[in-house]
Every structure is written in C-alpha cells, then in structure tokens.
Structure 1
Amino acid sequence: MKANIIGLDIAKSVFQAHGADTNGKCVFKRKLGRSEVSAFFAKLDPCEVVLEACGSAHYWARVISSAGHDVKLVSPDRVKPFVKKGKKNDAVDAAAICLAATHPDTMFVPIKTEEQQDVLSLHSTRALLVKQQTMLSNALRALASEFGLVVPLGTRRLPDLIAKIETSTGLPPAMKQSAMLLFEHYEKVAQSIGALEARIRAHAKSNEDARRLMTIPGVGPVTASLVVASVADIGSFASARHFAAWLGLVPRQHSTGGKTRLGRITKAGNRQIRTLLVLGATSMLNHAHKWNSAAGQWLCKLVERRPRRLATVALANKLGRIIWALLSRKEVYRPVGSSVAAA
C-alpha cells in the first residue's frame, strides 16, 4: 500500500522510517542504515517526508528532495507532545513525527541551502572563538591578580598587564611562563576572530538583504549576515510579533482565570541573533539622546520610567520587529521612524 506521508527519525548511523496512508494508518515501518537512505527514497513514489529539525536535518532534507519528495522539517518541541509516555524509541519517534506533521497548528522549519549553512559555519565558529577569547582573558587576569597585578577592564588593557608581568621582579618563573602562554593563545584566537569577521563583513556587503538591515541603528554586519543566513524565508512568520517570539524576545505568560501575568522573556529560538540584538540595543541605549528619530524619543522616555536592562530588551524586541518589516517589504530604514523603498 502506498504511503501518503513518511516520518523519518534521523540519527548518526540508524534511521527509522514510518509510513502512513491518508487516514493516518501505519503502512510500513523500516529501519535504515545511513548508506541505505538515499536508495530507499529513490525507489518510492513521490510523497510527503517529514523530519525533525535537528543536526544534519537540512542535509538529509536536500538529499531526499532531490529524489522528488516533498520534504518538511518540524520543530522538536512540536513532536514531543505526540511521543507516547514511557515508550520512547526510534519507531515511536518516527510515528510521532507523522502525527505532528498532520496537526493543523504545526509550523514547519524552512530548509536551509548549502550557501546559508556555509555562512552559518562562519558565525558558529566565531561564537565559539569569542567564548574562548573571554575565557582566556579571564584566566589571565585571575592568574595575575593572585600575585597582586591588576589592570582596568577591557581587552585593550591586556598588553599592559603582560608588560607588568614581564617587568615585575620577584615573580615565579612558572607564573610568567603560564601568563605568556595564555596571552599568546589569546592573540592567536583574536587573529582568527578578525579573519572570520572579515569574511562575514564581505558577505554582508555582497547580500542585498544584509545591506538593507545594516541601515538599522544597532544592527551591524555580523548581526545582518547572521539574520540573513538563519532566516530562510521571512514569509514563514505571519507578523513582526511572531518573528520577535521566534527570537525569544517576548515575555512568558502565566495566565489563568482571565488574569494575564507576564514574566521574563522566553529566550526561545535563535540564541545568537538574540544575543547580538541585545548587544546592539545596549550600544544604542548609551546614545539614545543622540538618536534623532521616533524610536530614539521612545527609548528616552522608556529609560526615564523603566530599568535600563528592561529598556535594552524592549529595544532589542523593537529591532527584531523592524528587521521583519524591512525583509518583508524590501525596504530600508529611515531614521525618522518610517521606511522607504530601496533604490
């Protein structure tokens, strides 16, 4: 019997396929090895294939799509409610993927191209190196402070700290050697970050949507490039609020009995974009009085009656909504608070 929809649970080596007909009845269950996946779907008649959006999902989606199938990716949090309690295995997960895909409220994840994943590899590597850079800086400062040597905050002050260590007399040789080793490693990581950022800036300058986003105050080439590479289809978000919710910049809800209770932001969705937007908003908060626009006036009034951290997150939310508007309407940002069509 022909399967109308196939749920595929992917893993490193073992894959589980669950085929169902138009009524949702199971047609077949099949365990596949990694090398068998392409041949298996090449023999099947074109149908709908659903995968869970996880590691290597975009790659397998492209592979199966090349065989003529309609491939969709579903978010893991949409699949979890359909997994039978106490009976979790690969076959159950594949069946749950089928059920999640047929639910009317399910939203699918757009499949990324190789070019998008290529750019995202630059951003993920940069994020890892920045984290290592911070760790090395903190380790160096902590080591020096154990011997009474401190300098003001900031990465630009690290050479001054190394100069103090080199010129200080009475320091143990092992301590000096360890400090120099940390600083050398720090400089190598900083050089690698600079090389990655140069490639990211080049991508931002060559992409039309990224150039459009860079007209927004607080959005630089790194943020613009990451947004363009991460968001495969801005049309998948019905409104600016949906996009802000995907970024995790909307408050949690604990509402019941008609009483609305809002908490902290959800922090769901893409963490890297959210972090960069908050950093950009923090920078704009320090220059709010110079921001000659409706958004700048709104921000100044908000800071007067709300804590600065809350104002920062609120501005990050607004930046996310502006990003959705510019990408959806193919416009550029105008400082007075409106948008005009890009030339």
Structure 2
Amino acid sequence: MTIETLGIDIAKNVFQLHGVNHHGCVVLKRRVMRDQLLDIVAQVERCTIVVEACTGAFCWARKFEALGHQVKIISPQYVKPFVRRQKNDGNDAEAICTAARQPHIPLVPKKTVEQQDIQALHRSRQRMVNHRTAVVSQIRGLLLDAGFAIAKSITRARRLVPEILSDLGNELTPLAREAIAELHDLFRDLDRRIAIFDKKIDAVFRGSERCQRIATIKGVGPKTATAIVAAIGDGSEFKNGRHLAAWIGLVPRQFSSVDRTTLMGISKRGSQHLRSLLVHGARAVVRTAPSKTDLNNQWVNQLRERRGFNRATVAVANKNARIIWAVLRTGEPHRAAF
C-alpha cells in the first residue's frame, strides 16, 4: 500500500483518514481516535499529508512533519467545492485529498509555536478591545436614558463619566449611579488589561529584527508588524506582494465577463485583523500627507484628489502589503521607492 496523498479531517476526538496513490485510487479509509492518530500516521510511509485549516491544524502539522511527512494546509473555502453529496467525515477527508491534488489551490502559510503565541496576544487584546467598546457603548446608552449625552469617543468617556458620577447634584438616581459606576470600573479594568497586552506586544516587537524592519514603512507600527510576522512568517508561501495583498483582502471584488471588466468594492476575504491594521495605518498616512512635500506624499495627495480619501487609503494599504512582502523575502531594510 503506497500512499501519495493522505487527507485527514481533523476534529476534537475523532479523525477521518483518506489516502490515495499516485493514480488517485483510494488505498486507505480509516476512522481513528485522537490517541491513535500519531501511531497510525507514523506507520505510513512518508507522503504528503493534507489538513484543512482549523483549530489545531498547525499543531498537528508540526507533529506530522516531525514524523517525516510533508504537510499542506488548505483553507476550507477551497475544500468545500469538492465535497460530494452529503457532508460527513468520510466525504470531508476525500474532499481535502482531492483539493490538494489540484495544481491551482493556494496553501495556508504554516505557523511556528512562536507565531501562534504572538497571534494569541493579538487575539486576546482584540477581545479586550471589543469588550471595552461594548461597555462604553452601554454606559453611553444608560447615561443618554438619564439625560446625559456623550459623543462616540473613548477619550471623552474617560473624562466625562467620572465627572457625571462624582456630581451628586445632577439628575442621576442613586441606583443608576451605582450600576454605571460598576460598568465604569469594568471599563477601567479593561483599559488596564489592554495596556498589559500592549506592553507584551511591544516587547515582542523590540526582540524581533524582522518586525523592526517592517515598521520602517510609513503606516506600519509595532502592532501591525508583529501581526504580519505572526500570520505569514517570512512570506515564502506567497509568489509575490500582489498575492499577499489579495490574501489579506486589499483588492476589489471582480464581476467581469468577456471584454467587460467590472471592479466593485473591497472584498472581505482574507484576514480581517490584518486588513484592519493596514487600513488604519494607511488612513494616518493619507490624513497627514497634505502637510508634507516629499514625493511619496505627493503621490498620496494626487491619488486622494483623483479617487477620494477612502480609495486612497486602501491603495496605500495595498502598497504597504506589497512592500512588506518584499522586505520579508529579501531580508533587506525598506528603501523608499520615491
């Protein structure tokens, strides 16, 4: 039994194996438990193992590679079209195997333990930020019910909410004051926790020469640099910078046919977190460009006049993604193109 490609449908406790030979004929179909998986894979001759990108995929990929196998990770969106008839573990494993044998299917960049640790920092921080936004919105809503209007700004909330709570002569009832005070304490605690994550991310940034090289690009700071390196490593999974920008989702959605090319809004594919970081950084570049006279900012200003603020922002973010790929792949510091 010679297996060329082994598709594994990863789950929490039960794993489905589907192996094919060089001709695509099925030579292995097996359902195994979690504690049996590594022993069974170790008995298989070295082959290409394919898994779907999901929770635990990168951890299993490292374990399979330690056994001598080559591992590929495919995004679920490219596996779904190959699922035949009903959806079950067997058909899913077969679809993974079939998708991997297509020459045009892009792969998901693998991640080391260090990269996953950095991503854990970013995801945990983002969760705290989302909670803080929700708490501030609830405080604003409760105060608006009581007759106090606060603009949409965390900075204003930090300044005005304590003033309202400390003013015992206003129209706020004691019960509402206590409830909002508890929410304000939660808001301050989330601020403290976010600051802790910021310090940890800054420490990672200072310890990474690769991140520091990326951060020399205008519109890229420590958080963006560490998030990019955590997601793509050295960028070797991408053919060029354009592919990286498309993977992040910084390209327009296309609806074209024959000779008619129709470009629509920016797609929501790819990493929402990376796209958000790059766009926020690019927005700062576009906003401050009018006060500067160098060639790079002149290009930004001309683009802004032609296409508007938002399109110019996305264009700068797209360009930054391409520059990041070049800096990562060449190992050289960033040199301004203008």
Q: TM-score, normalised by structure 2?
A: 0.95
Which string of whole-angstrom CA distances, capped at 9 and with x for unpartnered residues, describes residues 222-279 of structure 1? 0000001111341221121111101100011100121000001112111111001111
In structure 2, what is the equivalent of residue 156 of structure 1? 155
Alignment of 1:1-343 (within 5 A): 1-84=1-84, 86-158=85-157, 159-169=159-169, 170-335=171-336, 337=337
Q: Matched residues in 2 for 1:91 and 1:232: separation? A: 33
Q: 1:150 touches 1:161 (CA, 8 Å); kept in 2? A: no
Q: 2:6 touches 2:97 (CA, 8 Å); kept in 1? A: yes
Q: Matched residues in 1 for 2:150 and 2:286: separation? A: 27
Please give the root-mean-square deviation of Cα atoms over the aligned residues, in Å: 1.5
Instruction: Report SS of the residue matched to 2:326.
Output: helix
Q: 2:6 touches 2:17 (CA, 8 Å); kept in 1? A: yes
Q: Matched residues in 1 for 2:308 and 2:131: separation? A: 31
Which amino acid in 1 is paired with 2:39?
A
Q: Post-superposition, which runs of at least 4 consecutive aligned residues in structure 1 deviate over 6 A?
A: none
Q: Matched residues in 1 for 2:294 and 2:252: separation? A: 26
1:211: how far off? 0.2
1:215: how far off? 0.5
Q: Matched residues in 2 for 1:136 and 1:61: separation? A: 39
In structure 2, what is the equivalent of residue 341 of structure 1? none
Going from structure 1 to structure 2, the CA distance change for 1:291 and 1:50 (only over 3 Å counts) comes to farther
Q: Matched residues in 2 for 1:118 and 1:81: separation? A: 32
> Which 10-residue stretch deviates more, 162-171 or 259-268?
162-171
Q: Matched residues in 2 for 1:292 and 1:102: separation? A: 52
1:25: how far off? 0.3
5+ long unaligned stretches in structure 1 = 339-343
1:34: how far off? 1.1
Which string of whole-angstrom CA distances, capped at 9 and with x for unpartnered residues, describes residues 148-206 of structure 1? 21344422222322212320433211110111111100111111111111110111111
Instruction: Report SS of the residue matched to 1:236.
Output: coil
Q: Matched residues in 2 for 1:145 and 1:165: separation? A: 14
Which amino acid in 2 is paired with 1:234?
G
Which amino acid in 2 is paired with 1:18?
H
Q: TM-score, normalised by structure 1?
A: 0.94
Instruction: Report SS of the residue matched to 2:198.
Output: helix
Instruction: Report SS of the residue matched to 1:100.
Output: helix
Q: 1:136 touches 1:182 (CA, 8 Å); kept in 2? A: yes
1:329: how far off? 2.0
Which string of whole-angstrom CA distances, capped at 9 and with x for unpartnered residues, describes residues 29-53 of structure 1? 1001111111111222221111111
Which string of whole-angstrom CA distances, capped at 9 and with x for unpartnered residues, describes residues 59-101 of structure 1? 11111222221111112122112111x3211101111111111
